[in-house]
């Protein structure tokens, strides 16, 4: 028990402001330096009290000497990374690949002619899209509008089949059309589309299916004779066929396949059977810049 007497204090406490304080982090030591003038008789008690308090709470002074310039540099680098890829000095420039997307003389020339000559700018943009359409990433879906089918003096032994797409087909779209026509030709060449031998489809549904091999062997065969290459010009395409025999089932098979392709994958505006000419088609025009190409079936 301490008894306080109205007498001058026997020890003085002086508070000093720590010298090593970084304003950026607002770090201050948890204890203040205390300079005391304690009489010898109380020195031992005060020392024991301070030692017990320190051991109980295990206070540790932060080491400000390790806060060097490297930590400030790393913090500044983090702030620059969080700022994003856009910078007023660099513009829209990727930091990783180092490509400057602001400099495109061809595109700048197109934008420069928009006000003075809009038709010229539109023509240049269409030409740019035709040249670089394979490198432009965009979604290609089918069309909900049913595909139109027309016949114009179609001859089974010598005729063209014309295709008009809503957009210029990409490489994958052309590959899909070629695979479909190739499969159609193989099945037809092997006699798979013979309407004279439809035993299963014409049998009653309430009975067990049966097949007469003798009847199937005696049916006149139908063979797909010959087929040409698929020619593409922008959003138009054509192919020459020599089916040989007048077998309408072959045409039904192709139309059914193209209808599904138009609905799910590539929008086909119309398919025309027959005719030596088609609107906007240019004979003997093979310029790759205009989207012309020939594909082997």
pLDDT per residue as tens digits for the range 175-210: 999 999 999 999 999 999 999 999 998 888 888 889
Cα distances from 87 to residues 80, 83, 95, 250, in angstroms, run 10, 8, 10, 62
The label of the residue with tokens 């035709």 reads 130
Domains with residue ranges and CATH for the chain: 13-60 (no CATH), 102-131 (no CATH), 148-194+219-295 (3.30.1360)
Q: What is the pTM of this model?
A: 0.54
Q: What does the buried/exposed string (b/e) look like for 183-203 if buried means 16 or more CB atoms within 10 Å of the residue's CB?
A: ebbeebbeeebbeebeeeeee
Helix axes 118-131, 105-112, angle to 10 degrees: 150
> DSSP assignment, residue 221?
P
pLDDT tens-place string over residues 94-116 = 444 545 545 677 777 777 777 78
Q: How many residues does the chain have?
A: 297
pLDDT at residue 22, rounded to an integer:
43
Beta-strand runs (E) in the chain: 13-16, 33-36, 86-87, 91-92, 148-151, 159-165, 226-227, 230-233, 236-242, 268-273, 292-295
Contact (Cβ atoms closer than 8 angstroms) between residue 244 and residue 199: no
């Amino acid at each position: 028990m301490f008894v306080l007497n109205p007498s001058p204090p026997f020890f003085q406490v002086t508070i000093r402001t720590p010298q090593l304080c970084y304003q950026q982090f607002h770090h201050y030591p948890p204890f203040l330096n205390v300079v005391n003038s304690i009489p010898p008789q109380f020195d031992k008690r005060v020392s024991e009290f301070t030692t017990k308090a320190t051991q109980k709470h295990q206070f540790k002074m932060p080491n400000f000497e390790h806060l060097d310039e490297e930590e400030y540099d790393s913090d500044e680098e983090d702030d620059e990374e969080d700022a994003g890829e856009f910078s007023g000095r660099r513009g829209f420039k990727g930091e990783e690949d180092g490509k400057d997307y602001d400099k495109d003389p061809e595109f700048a020339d197109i934008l420069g002619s928009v006000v003075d000559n809009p038709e010229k700018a539109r023509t240049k943009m269409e030409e740019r899209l035709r040249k670089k359409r394979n490198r432009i990433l965009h979604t290609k879906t089918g069309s909900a509008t049913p595909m139109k089918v027309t016949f114009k003096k179609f001859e089974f032994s010598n005729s063209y089949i014309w295709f008009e797409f809503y957009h210029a087909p990409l490489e994958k779209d052309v590959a899909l059309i070629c695979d479909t026509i190739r499969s159609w030709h193989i099945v037809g060449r092997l006699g798979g589309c013979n309407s004279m031998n439809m035993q299963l489809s014409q049998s009653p549904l309430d009975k067990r299916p049966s097949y007469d091999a003798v009847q199937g062997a005696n049916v006149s065969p139908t063979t797909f004779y010959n087929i040409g290459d698929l020619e593409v010009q922008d959003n138009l395409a054509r192919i020459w066929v020599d089916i040989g025999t007048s077998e309408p089932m072959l045409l039904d098979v192709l139309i059914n396949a193209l209808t599904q392709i138009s609905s799910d994958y590539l929008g086909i505006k119309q398919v025309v059977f027959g005719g030596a000419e088609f609107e906007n088609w240019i004979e003997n025009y093979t310029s790759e810049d205009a989207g012309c190409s020939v594909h082997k079936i």
